[in-house]
Structure 1
Amino acid sequence: MRGIIIFFFVIVSSLAVAQTVSLSGRVLYEKTHVPVEFATVWIQGSAGIGGITDKNGYFYIQNYPEGESLLSVGCLGYASRTLKVEVRNRPKVITVYLSEQTLAIDEVTVIAHRKMEEATTTYTMDRTVLDHLQAVSLADVMSLLPGERTSSLFKLTSGQTLTVRGGGSRELDTPAFGTAIEVDGVRMSTNGYYVSSSASSLMRSADVRNIGSSNIESVEIVTGVPSVEYGDLTNGVVKVNTFKGKTPFLFEASVRPHTQLYSLSKGFDLGEQLGRLNVAVERARSINDLASPYTSYVRNALTLKYSNTWRTRRDKQLDFDFSMNGNIGGLNAETDPDAFKETYSKAHDNALRVGTTVSYLVNSPWISNVSAGLTFAYSDNLSEVKTNNSAASTLPALHTIEEGYFVASKYEDNPSSSVILLPTGYWYTTQYEDNKPLSYSAYVKARWGHRWGQLNSNMLLGGELKGDGNLGKGVYYDDMRTAPTWREYRYDQLPFTQNLALYAEEELKMTFRSSRFAFKAGIRSDMTFIKGSSYGTVSSLSPRFNASYTFAESQEDWLRGITLRGGWGKSVKLPSFAILYPKTTYSDCLAFAPGTMADGTSYYAYYTHPSQLLYNENLKWQYNVMRELGLDIRLKWFRLSLAFFHNTSYRPYTTVSQYVPFEYKLTGQSALESCVIPSSDRIYSINRHTGIVTVSDKTGTYASQQLAYTTLNGWQGSKLSVNGSSSARTGVEWVLDFNKIAALNTSVRIDGKYYRYRGVDETVTQATSSVKMTDGQPYKYVGYYVGGTGHSNGYESACLNTNVTLVTHIPRIRMIFSLRVEGTFINSARYLSEYSSGQRSYVIDDKESYLPSEQGGIIYDGGKYAVSYPLYYVSNDDVTTLIPFKEKFLWAYEHDKSLYNDLSKLVVRTNYGYTFNKQKISPYFSANINITKEIGDHVTVAFYANNFFDSLRKVKNYQTGNEISLFGSGYIPSFNYGISLKLKL
């Protein structure tokens, strides 16, 4: 594969010198004919061929390809223009007029716009869209994609993540973890964030709440197969661009019941040769509950952006961009009077993202432009939780990280003791978790655009070095006298990961009389280096292809054009630190408990057995195969766009448990019956290595006495990161745009999607029981389960959403009104319990049974209780022999009741008869309105109301047969509204 693609690039690159001429012109403000400075002028679909206007509005492109091309002209504060330019044989001079970006112009879009020139599916939303939507979070714009729902998270007090062509957290590979998010070219990487093993997923998705929303100029979302330029992803790309260029003072105030937002921004022209400086500050505060407005999330966002352009010659220029986005804020519940006295939780959400880019526009026959850049992203996510505790007698807290037997002691007597006795009565504990993920990258890339006859070629070559690490201290406690059982695990001592990527991509376009063909092929090679670990170097290749063919183009006929497009690609996702570096696990077994003394003190002794860290050197990087087919039909009356996709996730990251046997000594209270030393004079000690307990007399009257013990057999569990089973996502998205109804100034859009997910985890993991055996020994068996110890090991879901959007734009009064009705016609899901090599779960006759029903049955038939068995089990008497569980369990039921009762502890039973029923919800709807009104040239007022019907109707839940209310269900957003005011000064 690699050789074929390299040969393809070599052949294309060996074409003769391109046929080019020069194009020059001027960009003027339409109303006053004043020159527009710093306007960007570029050829659509080219490898960055273009330029920027000077202070007099002039631009010059020397190597403009002959023939017909689309020229795009844009500048901050002006409505972008795209015009067809045909150049033949000799230089050409044009003049372009731009209109101010206001609601007074005819062409204003407040819905997601698909980039038709791209073969892969890509949507863009500009500032007008965000203002009309009144977005306070980047997550709000995802509702504008085909078939998406308005988010029910209209507050910032909950984490907000983005998912492209993926579902919820029940999907095996955590699709939001694989969605790439960039702010001004700086990636929001969460690979270095350490998620504790107690969390539901060890992959943390990027939380976008700390991105300021008021200074976003545009958002671009690639839902199809992205360019090989973008790596470390599986589920698409979201690119955020903040303001760049000269702007007036912009003040915005946005108020909704739970959230208030205020911002001020300004784009300064520093003068000739000094560049432009954009500054934006924003404060947003969101409360969780109107009845108790104390738990709140605060965002204090700051953006600094400097840009400059120097012309080295008439047709060449050097661009420099520096951006810094940051936030100081977080969640705080410290002042909540409804919480228990002096208890609280709070967390930092501080962030700093810095990026620098230098681009040289060469505009030569052999290279178009070269760019290089550095990025840096750092987050401070220190959390602090203070809780109250109480106990009538002392309880032990274990802190040892070494193997052996240890006696508990009071903190006052031995502050460095391996086992501390916690105080009695009431006390408070403050836990900190210090996560400080850091990522950086350095990249260089070159583009070359040229034409040979009807063939237009654009080549991209690039490389990137990316690193991830964590500077946090991990979990810790300031006051060790009240710290519970805990072991230090420093995140800042984990090695950084380094990833080197090299990529090449060629895009070919050919234009005929009434048709066009485009083909893009690229390959990306990633090499990951993890110094000081067992993983060594991991490499992967990611080929990607996109193609489109447009025919039957016409400006007059009823059929205006048809485009067929398709894409295929592979994308690789690097693992998170919690996957790469699992924590050591500890088995703490009670070795001696002499009882409570008269003062309430109990002197415990414990045996601690740490597991050996298990690094899976065979761990492979997770990857996704993306497939897409598209159809665009443009008729005289409407435009229809369809996109079919089928994405498969391979080798998703997951963890399994493994157990090994060990033995330890237990000294019971019965061993003290023969001890003649009075209890008030006893001093207990335990040999760290042998576990033998010795009782001494602190008065010296009696000789020391060793106590008898019993040897017990236990299991030591540890976690291992492995690659799980594949899962698939299939869907179709559609957008139907009707021509504007001129008499009403109204446009109509119908968009929607059908989405289906299915994933079954067949990874084998081990588990045991905490129940004691009848002889007092620890449970002696370990089960080998398919896909975990739950009643299910898989999940499937399907949804069918359709939205109708009406947009009325009245330029004469500068107002836009939109109504969006969102309907969900299919919302179904089902838990799965399956195994490709056998059966995992069985129907039982009643919820108390452990045995498969003699009548058989299928667990999905409805109303069936079920049991799930492990595949095998082992005993600590013989850990190498895997015993088939079902056969032995059924045999034990007839012949060995004691074994049957013991093995039943490994059986998983459903608590409800409807567990495996399809979770289907009857159709439901909601409606949103948005109004934007410009008052003169300086004031804009906007209002929105989501779910303004405040629907309280009930829908039927076919899983249980009950009716549930939509209110507070999360299926539709709760009624919420807001108003915003924007001033241009």
Structure 2
Amino acid sequence: MHALYTLGGRFLLLLFGLGISLVGYPQQNNVRLDAEQRILEDIFKELERQTGYVFTYDAKIIRSQRRMSIRTAGSLPSVLETLGKKAMLDIAISGKNILVRPLRYGKLSGKVVDEGGKPLAAVSVFIRQFNQQHMTDEQGTFSLTYPMARYAKLNLAFSMLGRQEQAAEVQLVAHDQTISTVVMPQLSMGLEEVSVSPVTHDRLSSNSSLYINREVIEQSGALSLNDLLNLVPNKKIESPSLQRVQQATLRSNTLTTSSQGARDPFAMNNAFGVAIIMDGIALSNNSNMQTLNAGMTGMGDSFVDVGTSGLAGSRDRGMRYSGDYAHGGVDLRQIATDNIESVEVVAGVASAKYGDLTDGAIIVNRIAGSSPMYFSMQLRDNATVYGLSKGFRTNKLGAFTLGGNFTRSFQDNRDKLKSYDRLSTNLMWSTSAGANKAFTNTFSADYGRNLDNVRRDPDDPTASLARFRNYNFSVANRSNYRIDRGFLTNVGLNMRYSESYQNTYRERFMNGTYIIYSDATEVGITKGTYAPGIYTAVDHIEGKPIDISGRLDLNGKYYTGDILHQLSFGMNYNYSKNRGRGQLVDPSRPNQLASAATAGNRSARYYDFSTIHAQQQLGLYVENVFETRFANRPLHAILGTRMDKFEQYLTVSPRVNLSYELRPDLQLGLAYGYASKAPGLGQLYPGPVYFEVPLFQHTAVTETGAVDEQNSLYLLYVDKFMPENSGLKPSGSQQWEATVRYNKRGYNVGMNLFFKETFRGISTLPDYSVIELDQYWDNRGGDPLYIIDGTKRYRLPRHRFANLNNTSNSGIELMAFTPKWDVIQTSFNLRGGISQTVYNPSTNSQRNFTNPGTDLDYAVTGVYPGLKRRSVRSNAAITSSTHIPKANLVVNFIAEFNLINRTDTDAAEGVPIAYYTADGRYITIESFDQNNLQYRHLLVPQQELNNQNQPAVYSNFHLNLSKDVTKRLTLTFQVYNVFNYRPQYLRSDNTLIIPNDKPTYGAQLRLKI
């Protein structure tokens, strides 16, 4: 018995040393392994002990000393199969021996040609299972290797600029094989199958992504990237125009972010949180600081604005315009669509590789390749667009694509006061090298110039003009090295440098008797200066944003049992700085005529942007894509997380996209994601706020009535507030999403249900300090001119940035497609949805009023509850697409329905809960009294709070027609509001609303030279 215990103890010690647990008897049908980071050779020995079989192998070739972890149990063949997949080895039983050798690789090759049978070089071949991209050579051929017995099929996607995308599913065999020749015809209306609407499919980065290919882009007549967003479900279709700032907002019923001088902070936060990804690198707006000091006016009112039309009857008369877009997203007007191959709109849970976002991403892909020279011209009633592009390939240097676009547009051709000119040029150079072209590199250079002008209106007594200019230059490089064997499959490195010159300029004629001003920058009492009252007031801001971005991506694959995992991991870095001269302020030319020092004034001073610290961000991510089976049905999973470091804040963002194939024609999806967005430089460093408190003014005049500056005196107190925003945190969001996809016999129906919360949104908070100063009195001709007697309290207002805004967004999105009915050569597409946004500011709101008298208890600032509001919107569009290949014709007719547009605010939000007096006293209102003379004017009527309530359903109709006149010439005709249907209704605040813009017509010519 003692001997048995001794033997058992030694056996347990042996198992502990190997890190392997054995349960059951050593027989072939009951083998179990439980190893944690053990040497492969030791695992072989344990299997030999359990089974009596002998392993035969070359230790050097299979690297038997490497360590690995494995847990499996079952029959010997199943255990060996699992071990082989885990170790990437070919393991087979031969008699009483187990033969181990390196995994055998097969070769898959193919050829890509055009419609005439000529080989196509530089075609991108993407293999979904490997997450790899291959390129065809000069003969149009490609080849790839794959581990035999590891894959039953491969999915290949072929793409090239100007040619119709192709896809192939290849069933693999146990030997080398060549697939059928792939034909990629040039895009043409004469093709049997033409894409007429965006689609969703399982190759995208999220369950609800929307994919827009080149065919759809060409038919859209888009003036900019923003026009393509009209294809997103539940989006109201906007008329094509470049006369307003265009910032993308996704899944939020935001107020406008376009061109008004006052902009909604909630809308700006949503646009700021939408990432624009161009060729794998985000286009950052973090270093844009083109605003006036938000500490003086608040974030929504800090933009330089000007009137754009003086025409009687014009809907733009009296409206204010600003061409700046700081604190928000990238202005999409700057991105022309000429050289865009595809766009993916991710309104749901984005891939973990993308950071610095809270509200989705728009992924833009461009590729270089050989293509004919294309000349395009688009004529619209308010814009003229010219485009030229050419792609060519050389034997040694690779493929080049050159492109240019020039656009000139006017808001109103009758007066042409408001104009927008855009020049964009692009060079892309792609090359490949190595065995089977394993190394690919794409270099791109872009230059753009955007001139946004408002000219002087002859009927404007102030002769105001404004210029918003933006010159941008960027260079980027994408390198990718493909590894055909082993764990790693790809190593990618993306780098981008961009530099912009931004110039905002506004001038207005001022006509007064005189002004008094101060240029003091130190806190304390100082003398003001008298100056003539006839001058030109100027607002001038100069910015030079610089962004440097880098991304390292590594892709690998490994097995757990029969499950193939595609692992992506990497890091990104972003550096942002603004080297501009900043706010160029001349205090002697103030924006307001000030000839009497009767009230305090927030005054601007010169603020140099180049002295501001640079912003640096670092992100790490890992993402695992795999397909397993649940209840004997395929389950596709994308599991990832990323970590972002900004200043002292560290954010971890888990993201999950699951898609379950309930039936071959029915898929269910679930997704969850967390995301964060760092503040911009303009929010971190808005600059100091100066407040001037007038203390005494004595203005002497000469016999001619002119100001006697030598005998005049103006005393004021200058206060300086320097905001401390180091505690500003990144904003955040989390989103839950459920999707349903049904696809059978060409009918495709998709539905998305989402709930998204955003929190810590950045806005400005009104703030005050109270100061007590000596009171100065006129000495009535005595010497000195004043006497000091008593003190007086003053309230010094300003704004400071804080994490204030919270929203919850929920809704349903629907997309449905039918196949083409051959009898009428027509297919139908439905897209629509309904969404609700609840705005929850985390602070009270305020409104300012003017004291008409001398009552010291009069309320000059009302304090209200947080102005919570609920907005519901619903839009739908039905498109009929008639495609007649023999006639080379596609006709799209769109019927749009604006179903609901309603914003509700509780009446209590307009009832003040407190107020401030001019001397800074805060007085609480316990019960509002409408007869109280001190504060009754603070009440906000209900009709002013609920001013966006659409009373009925309104429709609109649009027409797009594309015709290949010849093989070289294509004509496209677009009409927005083809029936000139313009219903009207009065809002509750008696404002006339016309939901449909006037008709706009466009004709586009594309000529292949």
Name the CA distance, whole Å, in 1 between partners of 2:389 and 2:947: 54
Match of 1:619, as an amino acid? L
* Matching of residues 38-117 of structure 1 within 5 Å: 38-44=122-128, 46-63=129-146, 65-100=150-185, 101-117=187-203
- 2:338 matched to 1:254? no
Partner of 1:128, secondary structure, is helix
CA contact (8 A) 1:584 1:610 kept: no
Counterpart of 2:254 (choices 136, 159, 168) is 168
Q: Could you tell me which residue of structure 1 aligns to residue 480 of structure 2?
A: 359
Distance 1:53 1:780, change over 3 A: closer
Counterpart of 1:929 (choices 955, 959, 962) is 959
- 2:460 matched to 1:460? no
CA contact (8 A) 1:590 1:666 kept: no
Match of 1:102, as an amino acid? S
Match of 2:494, as an amino acid? G
Per-residue deviation, 1:206: 1.4
CA contact (8 A) 1:659 1:782 kept: no
Match of 2:159, as an amino acid? G
CA contact (8 A) 1:924 1:955 kept: no
CA contact (8 A) 2:280 2:494 kept: no
Q: Could you tell me which residue of structure 2 aligns to residue 662 of structure 1?
A: 771
Partner of 1:292, secondary structure, is coil
Q: Could you tell me which residue of structure 1 aligns to residue 758 of structure 2?
A: 649
Name the CA distance, whole Å, in 1 between partners of 2:515 and 2:587: 16
Name the CA distance, whole Å, in 2 between partners of 1:512 and 1:39: 37
Match of 1:172, as an amino acid? F
Per-residue deviation, 1:171: 6.7
* Matching of residues 614-629 of structure 1 within 5 Å: 614-629=723-738
Partner of 2:911, secondary structure, is strand
Say which is worse superposed, 297-306 or 59-68, in terms of deviation. 59-68
* Matching of residues 453-852 of structure 1 within 5 Å: 454-477=562-585, 480=588, 485-510=603-628, 515-529=633-647, 537-553=648-664, 561-598=665-702, 599-601=705-707, 603-636=712-745, 638-669=747-778, 671-675=779-783, 694=784, 707-764=787-844, 771=851, 774=854, 785-787=864-866, 793-832=867-906, 841=909
CA contact (8 A) 1:769 1:779 kept: no
Name the CA distance, whole Å, in 1 between partners of 2:960 and 2:940: 46
* Matching of residues 146-185 of structure 1 within 5 Å: 146-152=233-239, 154-169=240-255, 170=264, 172=266, 174-185=269-280
Per-residue deviation, 1:764: 4.2
Partner of 1:633, secondary structure, is strand
Deviations, residues 681-730 of structure 1 (Å, cap 9, x unaligned) = xxxxxxxxxxxxx45xxxxxxxxxx7344421112233332222421111
Per-residue deviation, 1:40: 1.7
Q: Could you tell me which residue of structure 2 aligns to residue 285 of structure 1?
A: 408
Name the CA distance, whole Å, in 2 between partners of 1:963 and 1:441: 46
Counterpart of 2:387 (choices 263, 268, 278) is 263
Per-residue deviation, 1:822: 0.5
CA contact (8 A) 1:785 1:869 kept: yes
Counterpart of 1:976 (choices 1000, 1005, 1009) is 1000
CA contact (8 A) 1:120 1:226 kept: no
Name the CA distance, whole Å, in 2 between partners of 1:304 and 1:718: 47
Distance 1:733 1:225, change over 3 A: same
Q: Could you tell me which residue of structure 2 aligns to residue 28 of structure 1?
A: 112
CA contact (8 A) 1:656 1:766 kept: no
* Matching of residues 363-378 of structure 1 within 5 Å: 363-378=484-499
Name the CA distance, whole Å, in 1 between partners of 2:180 and 2:893: 38
CA contact (8 A) 1:770 1:779 kept: no
Per-residue deviation, 1:235: 1.1
Q: Could you tell me which residue of structure 2 aligns to residue 700 of structure 1?
A: none
Q: Could you tell me which residue of structure 2 aligns to residue 942 of structure 1?
A: 972
Name the CA distance, whole Å, in 2 between partners of 1:784 and 1:923: 36
Distance 1:868 1:937, change over 3 A: same
Q: Could you tell me which residue of structure 2 aligns to residue 858 of structure 1?
A: none
Deviations, residues 768-812 of structure 1 (Å, cap 9, x unaligned) = 87649958x79899876543xxxxx12211122121111011111
Partner of 1:812, secondary structure, is helix
Match of 1:130, as an amino acid? I
Q: Could you tell me which residue of structure 2 aligns to residue 402 of structure 1?
A: 522
Name the CA distance, whole Å, in 2 between partners of 1:398 and 1:26: 77
Distance 1:247 1:875, change over 3 A: closer
CA contact (8 A) 1:632 1:641 kept: yes
Q: Could you tell me which residue of structure 2 aligns to residue 298 of structure 1?
A: 421
Q: Could you tell me which residue of structure 1 aligns to residue 315 of structure 2?
A: none
CA contact (8 A) 2:158 2:166 kept: yes
CA contact (8 A) 1:41 1:50 kept: yes
CA contact (8 A) 2:741 2:749 kept: yes
Match of 2:551, as an amino acid? Y
Name the CA distance, whole Å, in 1 between partners of 2:833 and 2:727: 38
Q: Could you tell me which residue of structure 1 aligns to residue 395 of structure 2?
A: 272
Give unmatched runs, 5+ long, in structure 1.
Answer: 1-6, 409-419, 530-536, 554-560, 676-693, 696-705, 788-792, 834-839, 842-865
CA RMSD of aligned residues (A): 3.1
- 2:368 matched to 1:244? yes
Match of 1:548, as an amino acid? S
CA contact (8 A) 2:755 2:811 kept: yes
Match of 2:266, as an amino acid? L
Distance 1:917 1:53, change over 3 A: closer
Distance 1:221 1:249, change over 3 A: same
Partner of 1:651, secondary structure, is strand
CA contact (8 A) 1:396 1:604 kept: no
- 2:343 matched to 1:219? yes
Q: Could you tell me which residue of structure 2 aligns to residue 886 of structure 1?
A: 926
Match of 1:200, as an amino acid? G
CA contact (8 A) 2:678 2:730 kept: yes
Per-residue deviation, 1:523: 0.9
Name the CA distance, whole Å, in 2 between partners of 1:92 and 1:273: 29
Per-residue deviation, 1:187: 2.3
Per-residue deviation, 1:104: 1.9
* Matching of residues 890-909 of structure 1 within 5 Å: 902=934, 904=935, 908-909=938-939
CA contact (8 A) 2:107 2:175 kept: no
Q: Could you tell me which residue of structure 1 aligns to residue 18 of structure 2?
A: none
Number of positions where the alignment pairs a residue of Structure 1 with one of Structure 2 = 861
Name the CA distance, whole Å, in 2 between partners of 1:338 and 1:917: 31
Name the CA distance, whole Å, in 2 between partners of 1:768 and 1:138: 39
Say which is worse superposed, 124-133 or 448-457, in terms of deviation. 448-457
CA contact (8 A) 1:659 1:717 kept: yes
Per-residue deviation, 1:741: 0.4
Deviations, residues 654-703 of structure 1 (Å, cap 9, x unaligned) = 2212222212233233x22444xxxxxxxxxxxxxxxxxx45xxxxxxxx
Q: Could you tell me which residue of structure 1 aligns to residue 470 of structure 2?
A: 349
CA contact (8 A) 2:586 2:605 kept: no
Give unmatched runs, 5+ long, in structure 2.
Answer: 1-36, 38-67, 72-81, 89-102, 256-263, 302-325, 593-602
Partner of 1:165, secondary structure, is coil
CA contact (8 A) 1:171 1:795 kept: no
CA contact (8 A) 1:285 1:299 kept: yes
